[in-house]
């Protein structure tokens, strides 16, 4: 039984192009499956999360990160009696709009667009992917996802100003998204904060001493782990303490959201949409710990000297390729040339680059710009 404040599939606002019901899957299950079978989803396997394969092919990429976020989201949604099918679909689609090279690629692509008084936003790009770029069906462009999934794509992590984004008017920008969508940004944080500590430690870019000193949430668990498993290998001790952090973040998100729902008197989805703030949240104490983890990772990993050269290379590759195709649009694939003839060349070049994998963009750079 779903909670009264959960999204009911029978109450969905439906698809842009009506379709007959499926004999054994509901609409949100079909949306989840359409995302999983999309080309853009498969390409996540070769898009950087934090580490390129220069370090190891064991580390997370965009695809494995997405799968981990879906697992966390499913756990939290079940505990809160939310619509697990919708929550899972949103978890699988949440990173579909990211370009190659992780945040470095996104930064460079946005900077290139701003030279033309435009911008790049991975959430809005993800909406374009599922609405237009994916071509799998004869009856319509895109994946024809339900309104609730399309709404969650753009509203799971931020609120858009209706005055600045009139093209998004249909997505109820004056209302909060459902809880299933509100979860995604938080489960995403749980996923990458713990995973990046793990990968950073395995890559020998973060030491145990650094993490214990700089991440109080980790140090909360590590002494007990040492007492319980004094003879365990160092990595397994690390794993046990990190598991404690993971469970603390996830458990707090569940219990604190339950408390907030009760205190606010939330009974229905309409109550969720009308509430003044987002209701899914960590408690103040755990939110502070989450921020400490994030600050630690930015200071010691994301902007570390060890990763600086790769980040610089990524930004250079994106910037130079963008400039190349702006100056030589005839070098674009024919279908992108057609789109450029009908609209904005910068947007077309941006769309082309954003869809690339790390491997393909390097191949294009070597072909058009003469090296790495």
360 neighbors 316 (Cβ within 8 angstroms): no
Which residue carries 């359409």 as its tokens? 34
- 3 state DSSP class of 19: coil
Residue (of 37, 19, 32) closest to 135 by Cα position = 37
Sorted by where each starts, the structural domains of the chain and their CATH numbers stand as 9-308 (1.10.3210.10), 311-369 (no CATH)
pLDDT at site 50: 76
49 neighbors 65 (Cβ within 8 angstroms): yes
Sign of CA dihedral 79, 175, 90, 192: negative
pLDDT at site 48: 82
pLDDT at site 306: 81
> What is the full per-residue pLDDT of the chain (372 aa) written as tens digits?
899 999 999 999 999 999 999 999 999 999 999 999 999 999 999 998 776 555 556 688 899 999 999 999 999 999 999 999 999 999 999 999 999 998 899 999 999 999 999 999 999 999 999 999 999 999 999 999 999 999 999 999 999 999 999 999 999 999 999 999 999 999 999 999 999 999 999 988 999 999 999 999 999 999 999 999 999 999 999 999 999 999 999 999 999 999 999 999 999 999 999 999 999 999 999 999 999 999 999 999 988 888 888 889 999 999 999 999 999 999 999 999 999 888 899 999 999 999 999 999 999 999 999 865
Helix spans in the chain (H):
27-36, 39-43, 62-79, 84-93, 102-114, 122-128, 147-155, 179-202, 208-214, 216-219, 222-228, 234-263, 269-274, 284-297, 305-327, 334-342, 345-354, 358-369
pTM of the model: 0.94
Is 347 exposed, middle or buried, given 0-12, 13-18 or 19+ CB atoms closer than 10 A? middle
pLDDT at site 49: 77
């Amino acid at each position: 039984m779903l909670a009264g404040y959960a999204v009911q599939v029978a109450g969905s606002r439906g698809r842009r192009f009506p379709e007959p019901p499926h004999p054994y899957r509901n609409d949100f299950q079909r949306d989840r499956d359409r995302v999983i079978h999309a080309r853009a989803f498969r390409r996540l396997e070769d898009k950087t999360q934090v580490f390129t394969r220069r370090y190891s092919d064991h580390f997370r990429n965009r695809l494995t990160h997405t799968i981990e976020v879906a697992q966390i989201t499913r756990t939290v949604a079940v505990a809160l009696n939310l619509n697990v099918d919708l929550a899972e679909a949103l978890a699988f689609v949440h990173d579909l709009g990211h370009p190659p090279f992780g945040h470095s690629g996104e930064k460079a692509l946005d900077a290139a667009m701003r030279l033309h008084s435009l911008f790049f936003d991975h959430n809005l790009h993800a909406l374009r992917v599922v609405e237009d770029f994916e071509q799998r069906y004869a009856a319509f462009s895109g994946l024809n996802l339900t309104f609730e999934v399309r709404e969650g794509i753009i509203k799971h992590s931020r609120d858009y100003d209706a005055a600045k984004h009139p093209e998004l008017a249909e997505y109820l920008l004056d209302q909060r998204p459902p809880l299933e969508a509100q979860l995604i940004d938080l489960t995403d944080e749980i996923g990458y904060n713990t995973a990046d500590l793990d990968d950073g430690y395995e890559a020998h870019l973060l030491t145990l001493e650094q993490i214990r000193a700089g991440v109080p949430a980790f140090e909360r668990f590590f002494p007990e782990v040492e007492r319980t498993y004094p003879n365990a290998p160092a990595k397994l001790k690390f794993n046990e303490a990190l598991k404690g952090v993971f469970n603390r973040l996830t458990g707090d998100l569940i219990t604190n959201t339950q408390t907030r729902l009760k205190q606010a008197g939330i009974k229905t989805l309409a109550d969720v949409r009308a509430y003044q703030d987002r209701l899914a949240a960590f408690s103040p104490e755990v939110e502070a710990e989450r921020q400490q983890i994030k600050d630690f990772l930015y200071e010691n990993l994301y902007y570390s000297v060890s990763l600086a050269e790769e980040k610089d290379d990524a930004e250079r590759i994106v910037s130079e390729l963008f400039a190349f195709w702006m100056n030589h649009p005839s070098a674009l694939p024919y279908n992108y040339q057609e789109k450029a003839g009908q609209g904005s060349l910068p947007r077309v070049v941006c769309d082309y680059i954003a869809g690339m994998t790390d491997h393909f963009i390097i191949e294009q750079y070597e072909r058009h710009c003469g090296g790495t």
